[in-house]
Amino acid sequence: MASILLLFITLLLSSLLFFFFNDKKKSKNKADHQPPLPPCPRGWPILGNLPQLGSKPHQTLHTLSKTYGPLFRLRLGSVTVVVASSASVASQFLRSLDTNFSDRPQNSAAEYMAYNHQSLVFSPYGPRWRMLRRLCTFHLFSTKALDDLRHVRQEEVALLAGRLRQAEGAVLNVGKEVNASVTNALTRTLLKRRVFEEEDGPDGGEFKKVLVEILKLSAAFNIEDFIPFLKALDVRGIILKMKRIHRWYDDIISKIMEEHKSVVGIRGVGEGEDFLSMLLRLKETNNRDEEEAKLNDTIIKALLTDLFTAGSDTTSNTVEWALAELLRHPDILVAAQKELDSVVGLSRLVSESDLANVPLLQAIMKETFRLHPGVPLALPHLSSEPCEVSGFHIPEGSTLIINIWSISRDPEIWSCPLEFNPGRFLPGGKHANVDVKGGHFELIPFGAGRRICAGMRLGMRMSTLAVASLVHAFDWFLPEGLTSENLDMEEDFGLTLPRVSPLKARVTPRLADEAYII
């Protein structure tokens, strides 16, 4: 009996050992067959690769891609980041694996200034995001909505031309003037008010000031997002500042919303109703079953925050970069003026309906988007499950960064990539059929995939109209002592891509006097 019991125990132990080691072997084989992680530069303890990013991360990541390839990995504090630096790799992420990368990672700016990730830009992919996207697409960015509000953009650009004409001969801060025009066009569309002419109004210019502060904080690189204990300590006081700015903004936008609630009518946006009034009206009839897809005051505030921050600086920066490039290339500037003269004449300003008939001007805009994308690093994506890209394993929960700036300078795609050459986009040029709408991954200044910039079409219309109007209406000159060869073209870095040195220039009118009268 004892021998039988001993035999049974021996067989049991043998079986357990067999299954244990066999399971370990299977796990090892599985790990052996899993693709490797993307290459990663050696980092620091705790900080990882954070100290290596520098003040201009888009340029740093571009340099790293030359060593580690078009897909590499970074460890930023406790966060795993994968960086795509080529069109083919970006296409795999945002076309083939678009659903897997449809979420956004959480960050302090979205938490404390975008109403805890309730905005369109920062909402998780789901019912609320789809509802907000549909609202914007149909009521703000559709062809009909854009055409209905065309007069707003044209009036603001005409007012800009009038201001520049009055300042003939003076040295102008071009970006500041353009930003006022772009922001006024945006806030007229959203709120039916011009924030850059309200210094003496009921808000005492507060709304303009708080928008500037929100843009500054949104553009800041927050190390707290990567090292959790720093966020808890708030050693730099940045979270406290975000909360203060948010309270300031929320007070102002709440007052504006209360004013709108008292006059909300039944007209459509194109019939005189601004976007906020339309949202407030829809809120009352929005009876969806999904709680997340219901409009409320907080979600409306969050959406407006997105539209204010995404729609002003990106557009005005693009216009400023385009004019700077034309000042550096006076032959292209003269050719563009001749093209516009032939289509528009000299007795009126450019209208949006003219823009389809000026291929050189359109090519100038594409080349500006290529060399100076409004957002150099696309807003980050978050992987919802593990996947494989270009033979590398991408873990679940990885943050994806698409280096748009680097892709636009890829010498394997673009000949003489650092040269400003609109001719590459003209008929007969190598890239004549390339557009910026997200289908050609070599040129994606507005991103790509389902989370492509919702305001792309508005941004394209406003920036193209502004550049065309300013090129057509004025001759442009650099201040005394500056030449096209020594014009500073250094980039700064933030959420957008501003110039380090604001563009300064002088203008003289080149159209008939009646063209500047509005």
How far apart are alpha carbons 130 and 386 in whole angstroms? 24
What is the distance between the alpha carbons of residues 187 and 275, in angstroms, rounded to a whole number? Answer: 10
Strand order in the sheet with 79-84: 71-76, 79-84, 399-402, 381-382
Which residues make up each annotated binding site for heme?
453
User: Phi-psi bin for 48: left (phi > 0), alpha (psi -120 to 50), beta?
Assistant: left
Rounded to whole angstroms, how far apart are CA atoms 502 and 171?
A: 12
CB 217 within 8 A of CB 109: yes
Residue 119's alpha-carbon distances to 89, 113, 282, in angstroms, are 28, 10, 17
Q: Which of 101, 445, 109, 79 is nearest to 309 (CA)?
A: 109
Of the candidates 457, 503, 454, 452, the residue with the CA atom closest to the CA atom of residue 482: 503
Contact 187, 211 (CB under 8 A): no
Cross-strand partners of 504: 173
Query: What is the distance between the alpha carbons of residues 498 and 318, in angstroms, rounded to a whole number?
Result: 9
Note whether 136 and 120 are within 8 A (CB).
Answer: yes
User: Cβ contacts of residue 211 below 8 Å, gap of 6+?
Assistant: 183, 195, 249, 308, 309, 312
Residue numbers belonging to the annotated binding site: 453
Can you tell me the distance from the alpha carbon of 312 to that of 459, in angstroms, rounded to the nearest whole number? 9
